[in-house]
Amino acid sequence: MRSFITLLLASLSFTALCEGVHVHGRFTVNGGNMPPMVVMHNASEEGGDASATVSGGVFSMEVQIQCPTLYNVRLGRSSYDLMLSPRDQDITIDVSIKDDQVADVHVTPATESEAYKRFYAMMKLNDGKLEKYFRQCDGAACEQELNDLLLDYTDDLNAIRKRYPGTYAAEVLCKMRMPVVAKEVKNTTAEFRAHYFDGVPFADASLLATPVYHDMIVNYIEFLIEGTLSSEEAFIRDLMTRARVDNKAYNKTALSLFDGLLWHSREKMLGMLIRYYDENQSSLTNPVLAVKIANIRKVMPGTTFVEIAKPDTSGVVRSLKEVVQRSKCTLLLFWSPGCSHCTEEMPQIQAVYDKYHGKGFEIYAYCMDMSPQHWKSYLSEHKLPWTNVLAGSGDPGKPTPGNDYAISSTPTLVLIDQRGTILHRFAPKNKLEKYIQEALK
């Protein structure tokens, strides 16, 4: 209880202040042009952007903030992340430009920004180690390794708190990311998962001021979630219940969940989130989330495919409908020759095609590139035997097939049966053959 009260008081000490921070700066240009403007974009997407015209190499602006907030400062062709706190009355930014690029940035005072950057770099490093562990290690013998990783993570967080006392990174973010380390090594994984969000100050207005909370959600989806339907549903409902203490945190949590699930192709969990949204539409009022869910509903399993008609290498328009009608099972493949994951997975996809094409399996491959040159070269080299079409320039003002199917990454594999019903919105490569076998029965 004491740790929770301490965290609450620390967060309140930041959110209670509301000040205008004066940001001014100077440019030194060594080759190239002086940027005409400086734009500060609020990373929390809650408004509060600011801009200033550069005149005589100097600029000045007033930024109104309620809590420590991360800004992306656009300096001509480059940008710089700057952490502002209401406690800072004046911030000076000295920028050196060389050949139209930012060569150096010096911020005074720099304590808040430096603390945040060191914290965020350390967080990314340790989260990378945890991801590697969860992908490679399994079984009771690995518990000690995870225990050691979490103890190292704790030491690194405490080092930030000691070096930058009183900063937002030290007083809020470090405590938010502080892992629970089980007293008994055998319980390390279970305790870490169960208490992963315990330090998140959901009622603190500064929660959304940086990408840290969003990253926590995405990490949990990517490598921490247990692979059972019950645990996945419990995770969504538990996190949404925790976040409900604050309306902004509640709606942002739902949006981060949606983006993370879509990005990592978690089809069943996405369906769970949509059901939760349907049950709580009166309180989930984020318009961006509403649009995203409305769009994804159209192409979730059980719906009819959305038509695509694009030209092949000869310029002949080939429709997805034609392929679906003549096949027992169709794979709609969104890909790009420049996508490394696509080129890595293409041999496996081709092997599946060769094995099941004679039984009624077809592929309609939609290349998301705009230019035909690279696409045609790739097809000529790899001899992909199925229907291949190119996105091209498209029709201005009209949604593209990538928009229609809410494609966030490539390759994306959509499996369609002979009636035109989407069977799987994200067909994972390790289960693709199994799903095709079931569809061909």
pLDDT tops 70 at residue 71: yes
CA dist., res. 43 & res. 353, Å (int): 44
Provide the percentage of residues in the chain whose pLDDT is more than 90.
76
What's the average model confidence in pLDDT over 167-185? Answer: 95
Task: Give Cα separations from 183 to 105, 138, 187, 292 (angstroms).
Answer: 45, 20, 8, 42
What's the average model confidence in pLDDT over 300-305? Answer: 96
pLDDT tops 50 at residue 316: yes
At residue 8, the pLDDT reads 42
Give the confidence band of 7 by pLDDT, cuts at 50, 70, 90: very low
- Which tens digit of pLDDT belongs to each residue from 86-133? 888 899 999 998 888 888 999 999 899 999 999 999 999 999 999 999
CA dist., res. 59 & res. 52, Å (int): 6
Give the confidence band of 46 by pLDDT, cuts at 50, 70, 90: low
Minimum mean pLDDT among 63-77, 208-222, 330-344, 356-370: which range? 63-77
- What are the residue ranges spanned by the domains of the chain? 14-109, 113-297, 309-440
At residue 32, the pLDDT reads 82
At residue 45, the pLDDT reads 65
Give the confidence band of 44 by pLDDT, cuts at 50, 70, 90: confident
At residue 10, the pLDDT reads 43
The CATH class of the 309-440 domain is alpha beta
pLDDT tops 60 at residue 16: no
Architecture of domain 14-109 in CATH?
Sandwich (2.60)
Same fold, 14-109 and 309-440: no
Q: Are the beta carbons of 206 and 67 closer than 8 angstroms?
A: yes
CA dist., res. 354 & res. 347, Å (int): 10
Provide the percentage of residues in the chain whose pLDDT is more than 70.
93
pLDDT tops 50 at residue 135: yes
What's the average model confidence in pLDDT over 163-187? Answer: 95
Average per-residue pLDDT for the chain: 90
At residue 47, the pLDDT reads 63
Q: Are the beta carbons of 318 and 387 closer than 8 angstroms?
A: yes
Q: Are the beta carbons of 216 and 197 closer than 8 angstroms?
A: yes
Q: What is the pTM of this model?
A: 0.88
What's the average model confidence in pLDDT over 133-160? Answer: 91
Torsion of CA 19, 22, 23, 27, to 10 degrees: 180
At residue 12, the pLDDT reads 43
At residue 99, the pLDDT reads 85
